[in-house]
Amino acid sequence: MKKIVVLTGAGMSAESGISTFRDAGGLWDQYPVEQVATPEGYAANPQLVTDFYNARRKQLLTVEPNEGHRLVAALEKGYDVTVVTQNVDNLHERAGSTRIIHLHGELTKVTSSRNPNSPRQIRELSPEEYEVKIGDKADDGSQLRPYIVWFGEAVPNIEVAADYVQQADIVIIIGTSLNVYPAAGLLYYAKEEANIYLIDPAEVNVPYDRHVHVIQKGASEGMRELSRLLGV
- Confidence tier at 180 by pLDDT (50, 70, 90): low
Question: CA 106 → CA 87, 124, 184, 192, 229, distances in Å?
Answer: 8, 9, 19, 32, 32
In one-letter notation, the amino acid at residue 20 is T
Residue 203, burial from CB neighbour count under 10 angstroms (0-12, 13-18, 19+)? exposed
Would you say how long the chain is, in residues? 232
Residue 28 has pLDDT above 50, yes or no: no
Boundary of a domain, candidates 148, 170, 203? 148
Other CB atoms within 10 A of residue 100 CB: 19
CATH number of the domain within which 87 lies: 3.40.50.1220
Residue 219 has pLDDT above 70, yes or no: yes
Do 38 and 88 lie in one domain? The reply is no
Write out pLDDT tens, residues 74-102: 999 999 999 999 999 999 999 999 999 99
For residue 136, give the 3-state DSSP assignment.
coil
Domain of residue 39 covers 19-62+109-148
Do 13 and 25 lie in one domain? The reply is no
Do 31 and 143 lie in one domain? The reply is yes
Write out pLDDT tens, residues 32-70: 777 888 999 999 999 999 998 998 899 899 999 999 999
Contacts of 8 (CB under 8 A, 6+ apart): 72, 83, 84, 85, 86, 87, 92, 173, 174, 175, 176
Instruction: Report how many domains make up the chain.
Output: 2
Q: How far is Cα 108 from Cα 216, in angstroms, rounded to an integer?
A: 31
Do 11 and 28 lie in one domain? The reply is no
CATH number of the domain within which 139 lies: 3.30.1600.10
Residue 153 has pLDDT above 80, yes or no: yes
Angle (CA) 160 166 171, round 5°: 100
Do 54 and 99 lie in one domain? The reply is no
Report the Cα–Cα distance between both ends of the chain, in Å, rounded: 13
Do 203 and 116 lie in one domain? The reply is no
Do 194 and 216 lie in one domain? The reply is yes
Do 119 and 217 lie in one domain? The reply is no
Do 217 and 137 lie in one domain? The reply is no
Do 46 and 138 lie in one domain? The reply is yes
- Calculate the average pLDDT of the chain: 90
Q: Where are the beta strands (DSSP E) in 140-182?
A: 144-148, 170-174
Mean pLDDT for 16-36 is 65
Is residue 54 within 8 A of residue 130, CB to CB? The reply is: yes
Q: How far is Cα 152 from Cα 158, in angstroms, rounded to an integer?
A: 14
- For strand 213-215 and strand 170-174, is the pairing parallel, antiparallel, or unpaired? unpaired
Burial 24-49 (b: 16+ CB within 10 A, else e): eeebbeebeeeebbbeebbeeeeeeb
Write out pLDDT tens, residues 202-217: 887 776 677 889 999 9
Q: What is the pLDDT of residue 4?
A: 98
Nearest CA-CA partner of 87 in 67, 112, 114, 65:
65
Do 39 and 142 lie in one domain? The reply is yes
Would you name the residues annotated as active-site residues? 104
Q: What is the pLDDT of residue 202?
A: 86
Write out pLDDT tens, residues 103-124: 999 999 999 999 999 999 999 9
